[in-house]
Structure 1
Amino acid sequence: MITCAHQMLIVMLTNTFQAVDVLQKDPMEIQVSIVKIYHHRFMTNQNVDTDGDCPSQRACINETCVNPCHVLDPCDPSADCKVVDSLPVRTMICICIEGYIMGENDVCQIIPLDITPQCRSDSECGVEKACINRMCKDPCDCGSNAECDVINHRSVCTCQVGFQGNPDIGCFPVGCAINNDCEDDKACYEGVCANPCLVGNPCASNAECYAEQHQAKCRCPSGLKGDGYTQCLVIGCRANSNCPPDRACINNQCKDPCLENPCAPTSECLALNNQAMCRCPPGTYGNPQVRCDPVPEVECYRDEDCPGQHACLNEVCVNPCEKLEPCDDTAICKVIDTLPLRTMLCVCPDGTVIKENGKCDVLPPIKPICAAHEECPSDEACVNGFCKDPCQCGTNADCDIVDHHAVCTCKPGFEGDPEIVCHEIGCYGNDDCATTHACINANCTPVCGPDNEPCGKEAICQGINHQPQCLCPPGLRGNPNTQCIAIGCASNDNCPDNLACVNERCEDPCGLNPCIDPARCNVENHIALCPCPPGFNGTLDKGCERIIIGCRADSECPPELACINGKCTDLCSLNPCGINAKCRTVDTLPLRMAACECLPGYQGDASEICYPVKACPIDKGYITNEEGECECPIEKGFYVDENGNCKLCPVEKGFVMTAEGTCICDPSKGFVITRTGECDCPLPLSRAEDGSCVLVEVTPLPPICTVNDDCPQDRMCENQNCVRPCGYDPLF
């Protein structure tokens, strides 16, 4: 299966390219076509291909070469769908079979019998008419800003003076401001649309240069291999299986098998499946390896009876451009396989534009305007002789220009690689964040804070699957959550390769700062090395001295250096980044780029300042507010208890929040805290129906006795109680 990149596909549901209103047509005039244009645009990457990468009758949809009629099904079941091999995109045509016409809702309807046919062939119509569905009609169906001439009943489309493009689809004014103002195979140079291959051919000597998406691209011709930009080599072989389908293995070389002339002089030779296949041309018959004779009978009646690029003229299939010669000698005539009639286009060659009387005139010369960055404005850079915007940052990234070079930083509220893409810090779950971050209070927060928090001393924190993982680095051991200590050693062999045995401990030899700036210390096989950065040579004292290099472009400098004021300079030495941010140089060409990123555990604007990400103890009930601050939301009824936990004040149990943010028993109701930690009324108060504490009066009990006769015989009445007259009774 052939694959291809995403692109825009234009679907034309018609047998012409011009829209026709069915409801406004005369009912006696046969309606033949309706146009509908659908744009199927998919997300694109930066290196895209076109329908031209697919075989005939195929289009690039969802990275696969397929028949668009089968996949998109644009036509009504009553109509036939045909694919026209137009470029840069394929065209689909809905055609009614003979005897039917396109009616309302794009449905093919049988031609009413009460309409008398006007013709059966073009010769029965006037010189400016054509026989279409048995009716003499104007064959002109050119695009916008195009003129139509009728020659021998066929339309000839030409762009109007001052316009250029495909006259069959649409012409646009000559001149441009940006590349998108030009056709796909043109680019905008000083207000002129021109083939980029003519301005600057980047291809190898034996490669083909083709224009696509306003850029010059290279490819190796059939029979050669390579990237097209540096070289194209002849494909050697040992068998046909080593060659492309249109080549055969001859004398250990992939060659066109038709070069051996296996066919008759009057026949055609096609290279298919590594073999030479002979066939008689259209309009002839016979044994193609012996002789092909003309077909004596009528060759065609309509254009659709002829092969591609041919039309039926006088019952013979011919190339109408060669037969009718409708274009000026300076223009190129092309045949478009439209139906029911072929269409001829008069197109100017690359580097020319149409003028009066259909003649093509040469475009004004394009001259470079710069040779070095300093010759351009401060916000532009010299690229291929022209001053252009150097910014090529990723999505959601800001671009600042320093000394004609781009410095990319993520926009506020975003983080990531500013050279490729910056992601929004907000999130719904961990899956919305990088594996080194976790979704906390709808924000992607690094799980590892500054200084490798929350790991122990000398430990390394790594964000894995949205969780902090603490590890002891090589040469250390212990509990990484508390502290890692050095492993004892007797020699370097007892230590990892990036550590050395110093005083019986495995330590980093670069920790002794053996190098002199700008040398960078690296450890290899237990030894500290001091390699110099690009653009410097090493000295005997482990220092570096700058190599004096003159330059005019970044490509003349070593990696990680850019050409600034004629010298190869490290962009990061210009300090383009903010506080707590790191700078790295991206080796892009033709311009180097600086990227600023916040240090691990920091967030913010890398071009200004990055702030530490505070670790918020969410396990104790704290949250991060919209300003990114860690807090216990007192305004929502939470308080901090004596153990430092953020808890909800239980108002339903009689507690109340004070203005200072403490949770106490409601004093307005008279509650006090009990030994069990609950709110209740103090004695002798009790809770009333409204929940407040009140003093309840106790009704005194009626007296037991008033006189002795009220008591039993062995008791007497004293203080309204019946007591023993003999004094204290321990059992009473």
Structure 2
Amino acid sequence: MIDRCSGGAHRCAPRRLLLLAPVALALLGACGSDDAPADASGPFDAGTRDGGNVDSAAGRTGFGEQCELDEECAADAPSCVELAAPAYAPGVCASACGEGGACPNGSECHDEVCIRCAAEIAGTVAPGGACGCSADCGSGGACEDGVCEVDCASAGCPEGSSCDGTPPTCRECLGGEPGAEDAECTCDADCEGDLACIGESCARPCAIDENCGADECRHELLLSPPSCAPPGSGCVGNGDVAIGGDCACNADCAAAAPLCLGLFAAGQRRLVCSTPCGPEQPCPGDLQCCSSDGASPYCIAASLAGSPRLTCM
């Protein structure tokens, strides 16, 4: 075992590991690899999902079982790894991946260690459920950050769910009669007509102001898509507010930053003039190009980019 701690392995706490997007592996019954060496079977029998054991001689925890310190783990899985995923707590005993990412049946290679799958039977975890590896997920899903995600646009969703949002994901619906504008919702099917569930409220999706009649097309940093909303009470409409400046409506903003973007910063609601951005459309000056959950990115001041939900480039 590699000593990762200044005081040796005896008191070594679990190292942190983000569960990365899974690598495509050849699956054998569960989520193992046909290329696994003969000694890589570990505590798993071919085609089973039993996982984990206890080294009775040493009284230590085996591969895939819970742990808090390296010293608790048996020799076949000597590293106690903490994962940013709900399927594991506080940590699990893991072993190094073999050549070419080979792992025992019932596990997958992530960041050079074999991580045990969570489901008792492969392919039984529904979209949105906790997982340990992609083979846990049904409907062709992939295990992303410990949750089964599925391309619902092609695979569909379970009964009572709807394929919504950007990127499309299965959302569980409230059910009952579809609601009018501003009604509570959890999926598009909860809303009547052409309304969409945006920020847990039924709203009119839009692309430009002309889609909204007397209202305007309001863009929100943490929500997608934009939706129709009335201009703010302080709207002047002179079109002279520069990028990053405070605004009350789209008409307040200059042509270089035509969107009055809604966001939250330091616990306060803000509206600032902004513009879409991207790798081929960088933001001017020291502004940052930020987005949330795959939604469209916008230029905002670095001082407003502190939300953990934001990804900035």
TM > 0.5 fold call: no
Higher strand share: 1
Structure ranking higher on relative contact order (CA contacts 8 Å, 6+ apart): 2
Bigger Rg, which one: 1
